[in-house]
Structure formats: structure tokens, C-alpha cells
Amino acid sequence: MPPGPDTPTLDNMPSFNARELAEAVADANSALQTIQDLVGVEDIGAARVRFPRGYLRTSHQGRQLFACVRRPLVQTNLGYAAQLSDVLTWLLMRTDLAAIARDMVVKTYLALTGGMAEALLIDYFHGETGWRQTFSSRVTRLLERQKIDKLLSGELKRLWDMRCRQHVFEIPDSEFYAYDPDDHLRAQAAINALIEARSLDAGVEIAARAV
């Protein structure tokens, strides 16, 4: 995934940090490959590496992100979903996973964030619209109420269309290179914009770290 405008890179980091980072990455690459060469695909407990601490948000932080959600159970489960989004984003940002394997991680992220968006919309209209209302109709209602703009409306509907490609037997064409890192970034921007819109409408503080 390409870095954002404020993301530190080896070109704009202090030189000592750049050297330290490059050495750490080289060491990690070598160690992980050694583990792979030793155990292959076997499920060996001793080969399990420690996931970096400090990247995944806590359950409490996940619930804080969705303070705009009125129903506690939905808020809690959305917080858990945010932790999964952290795992998927880590894979896309911290590894060189490529080709179909990377695309399937992106697809999983689209399914996840599409479901999160659906939960946010259903919660907003809870008690006002029936369960048979479609995702698209709920987005349109938000647009009509000027809670979101036309651009976000389009991005949310696009996200939902991609999320609906989860039933493999219903997909009408090959998924070979059907997804790419840009889809991840667009989905990330859309879900975060929806969370912000819901938070502003509910009058709650917007979390510093979004999905």
C-alpha cells in the first residue's frame, strides 16, 4: 500500500532511524524465512512468532471509535471488527504480500468494512425504517438529510457492491486481479468518513485513530 502524504518513508525519516529500521526489517525477514525453512507448513507451536504489540487497538478503543452507535451490543461488535481491520491493514502495510494473496486480503477488508457500514446505517435508522430497506436506500436517505455528501454516498454504494461479491458461487467472472490496494484505501476512507459523519451527528468525540 503506498504511503500517505504524512507517512514517514526512508527518504523523509531521520538518517539514524532509517538505518535502524532497515536493519530491523532485514533481521525480521531473515528470521521469518529461517522459521519457514525449518517447519514449512506444519502447525508447530514453537514456530509461532509474537505479533507486534502496540499496533492492534484494544477492545475499549474499538468501542470508543463507535461511540456514535446507540445499541451497546452493536457498538461492542463493531469494536471487535475494528481489531480485525487492524490485522488486515497490518498485513497490507507491513508485508510484501502480493498478487492474488494480497488481493484476497483486500477482498476480506472490503467485506469487513462493508458489514461495518451496514451496521452503522441500520443502527442510525433503528426504529425508523424496516429491516427490508436496502443498504443503498439507507445511504440515499442519509444523503437526502445532508448527513453525508454525494461523493461519500457513491463511495459507500461502491463499497457495498464489492462487499456483495462474497458469495463465491455467485461471482460472474474471475477474481484474478479483481482487487488492489487502492480498493483498500477507498474502503478505509469511506468507512472512516461514515464514522465521522455519524459521530458529528450524534455529538460525540471523533476517535483520534480511525479504522
* pTM for this entry: 0.89
The residue to which cell 461492542 is assigned: 76
All structural domains of the chain with their residue ranges: 1-49, 54-202
Specify the residue for cell string 457495498.
160
Contacts for 151 with CB less than 8 Å, ≥ 6 apart: none
The pLDDT tens digits along the chain (211 residues) read: 334 444 555 555 555 688 899 999 999 999 999 999 999 999 999 999 999 999 999 999 999 999 999 999 999 999 999 999 999 999 999 999 999 999 999 999 999 999 999 999 999 998 887 777 999 999 999 999 999 999 999 999 999 999 999 889 999 999 998 999 999 999 999 999 999 999 999 999 888 788 9
Q: Which residues contact 1 (CB under 8 A, 6 or more apart)?
A: 92, 93, 181, 184, 185
Phi, psi of 133 (to 5 degrees): -60, 140
